Amino acid sequence: MTTLPAFDVSDLTDAIANLTDGLETFAQAAEKALQAGKQKSGPRIPTHVQRAADELANLYEQFTGKRFSHNPKLLTKYDGIPHSPAGRFIDAFFKIVDPKIARTSLSTAMASIVKSRRARQTVATG
């Protein structure tokens, strides 16, 4: 007959206490992240606009052979209007398809595309 190892209830109690502490720390970190996210200014970009801009960026690169870029500045002054060739391409598309979308919203969507592509490239290159 097999004998089971001795079970010490204090080990279980310690494990539960450690788990509780870890969950409390996690909850505090999640709350801080949520509050930081709420402090960001500006409205969120509608998902369909973000996706369309991303696909247009892919098309731009595919058909021009040039890397997608974004510049929302006129010389050194931010005006929120896309000034790069790729940005003007996306802006022209939305002027035809949905002229009510603000150019600053398109700028924000394009900035997000550039940021996510840089992050992917950084991860890929290590």
pLDDT in tens, the chain (126 residues): 666 666 666 677 887 888 888 888 888 887 877 777 666 666 688 899 999 999 999 999 999 999 998 887 878 888 778 888 999 999 999 999 999 998 888 988 998 898 888 888 787 786
Assess if residue 64 is contained within a domain. Answer: yes
Whether the CA torsion 103, 108, 112, 115 is positive or negative: it is positive
Question: What's residue 2's pLDDT?
Answer: 67
CB atoms within 10 A of CB 35: 9
Q: How far is CA 56 from CA 27, 53, 78, in A?
A: 39, 5, 23
Assess if residue 31 is contained within a domain. Answer: no
Assess if residue 42 is contained within a domain. Answer: no
Assess if residue 30 is contained within a domain. Answer: no
Residue span of the structural domain in which 101 resides = 47-125
Assess if residue 121 is contained within a domain. Answer: yes
Assess if residue 58 is contained within a domain. Answer: yes
This prediction has a pTM of 0.62
The answer to whether the CB of 86 falls within 8 A of the CB of 66 is yes
Question: What's residue 40's pLDDT?
Answer: 61
Assess if residue 82 is contained within a domain. Answer: yes
CB atoms within 10 A of CB 38: 7
Assess if residue 74 is contained within a domain. Answer: yes
Report the number of distinct structural domains present in the chain.
Answer: 1
